[in-house]
Amino acid sequence: MKTGPPILKQLLQIAICGILLVWIFQAIFWKEGQEAWEREQRKPAWRELTRSQRLEVSWSHGPREVWRSLSQVRADAFALSLVWMGAILLLGVARWRQVLRVHGIELSLTRALEISLVAHFFNSFLLGAAGGDLMKAYYAARESHHKKAEAVGTVLVDRILGLFALLLFTLVAMAANLPLLQADPLFMKLAWVILAMGVGCSGVLLVALRGGISAGLPQARAWLRRLPKGEFLERLRESLKPFGRDPAFLAKNISLSLLLCAVCVLQVQTLAWGLGLDISLRHLFAIVPMITCMVVIPLTPSGLGVRENLFVLMLAVPLIGVAHTSALSLSLLCTAGSLCWSLVGGAIYAGLKTRHHLGELARANGEGQ
């Protein structure tokens, strides 16, 4: 089993995550420390302190201010945000079951929800963005009796269609918020990146649903079969074709994904309300999916560090004017809500792994990484 490259990749992701988190926390703590020092009119003046003295002040005041901001969230708002997060997971389950039915794989709502929560746990607490997807693919294959390639194909299609819908939602929301995009160069840079992602994802989706680029190239198909697991890859390629031939399925699946995106925005809006932040819902309909699109890029585990920096930078523009500490608190609360449901998935994994063979799937997932 080759573990070198995956381990190096994971270590790099951890390093990037750590750098981004230290960067944003230090910037906010520094600002809070300076404001507290000047507010209390302490001597000597802030500008006369050495860098080490400023760091000491920052890390003594900053964490307290962030915790104070976090603790101000209304309990009912945080509880409602957990409900929204649960709705997001349920919509994801419903979307996956739609994909499974195309291949005649019937998975009960209870069983699909169970494995999706376990996959959510793996994605949140383990390194590697594909951990949960591999778990879902193996589980669906076990349930579907010798349809492993088709099961893997359903997870792949679910991912691609979900990403396509997210990018579509984001592009429409950005078009409806042009003044916001023009408010700061960061917004415009992100908009161009997301536009490029949308074009690329559309191309991948088109190729995937047509059976791959080898569909009309017999020589390429023969080469594909000679690869390791070539027969499996050929079956996987063939398993994608039925999705492209079913416009009704595509319309329903993308519509469900768009609804999921809207609920994600409502979750953030609920937490913003709970923190007493005055943020336009229209602006959040652009900002939240833009951040989600960037978090999809596997730079850090679960997007940690990337998400926090983007929340702070995007909400601090003059048109919105949210304080850095409050924006960071909003991001941390969003992450906390997701982790709460991850813990539910962890409890399910611990309690049912023997009965539903999840232990075997976890070992297979570990070998795959």
* Among candidate residues 48, 71, 94, the one where a domain is terminated: 71
The domain in which residue 193 lies consists of: 75-368
Are 98 and 224 members of one domain?
yes
In this structure, the answer to whether residues 137 and 26 fall within a common structural domain is: no
135: tokens are: 């778990």
Does residue 173 sit in the same domain as residue 106? yes
* pLDDT tens per residue across span 311-361: 999 998 888 989 888 998 999 999 899 989 988 988 888 876 655 555 454
Closest CA to 352 of 50, 113, 68: 113
Q: Pick the last residue of a domain from 71, 104, 132.
A: 71
Same domain, 228 and 124: yes
Query: Per mean pLDDT, which of 21-35, 108-122, 159-173 is the most reliable?
Result: 159-173
Instruction: Among 71, 97, 126, give the residue marking a domain's end.
Output: 71
pLDDT tens digit string along 201-214? 998 888 777 755 45
> Which residues make Cβ contacts (< 8 Å) with residue 137, sequence separation at least 6?
148, 151, 152, 154, 155
Residues 40 and 179 in one domain: no
For the chain, how many structural domains are there in total?
2
pLDDT of residue 131: 57
Does residue 150 sit in the same domain as residue 202?
yes
How crowded is residue 108: how many other Cβ atoms within 10 Å of its Cβ?
10
Check whether residue 54 and residue 134 sit in a common domain. no
Q: Are residues 239 and 173 in the same domain?
A: yes
Tens of pLDDT, residue by residue over 167-188, are 999 999 999 999 999 888 999 9
Asked whether residue 210 falls in the same domain as residue 347, the answer is: yes
Q: Are residues 219 and 108 in the same domain?
A: yes
In this structure, how many other beta carbons lie within 10 angstroms of the beta carbon of residue 275? 21
Q: Clarify whether residues 162 and 271 are in a common domain.
A: yes
Give the Cα-Cα-Cα angle 228, 233, 235 (nearest 5 degrees): 135
Q: Are residues 88 and 233 in the same domain?
A: yes
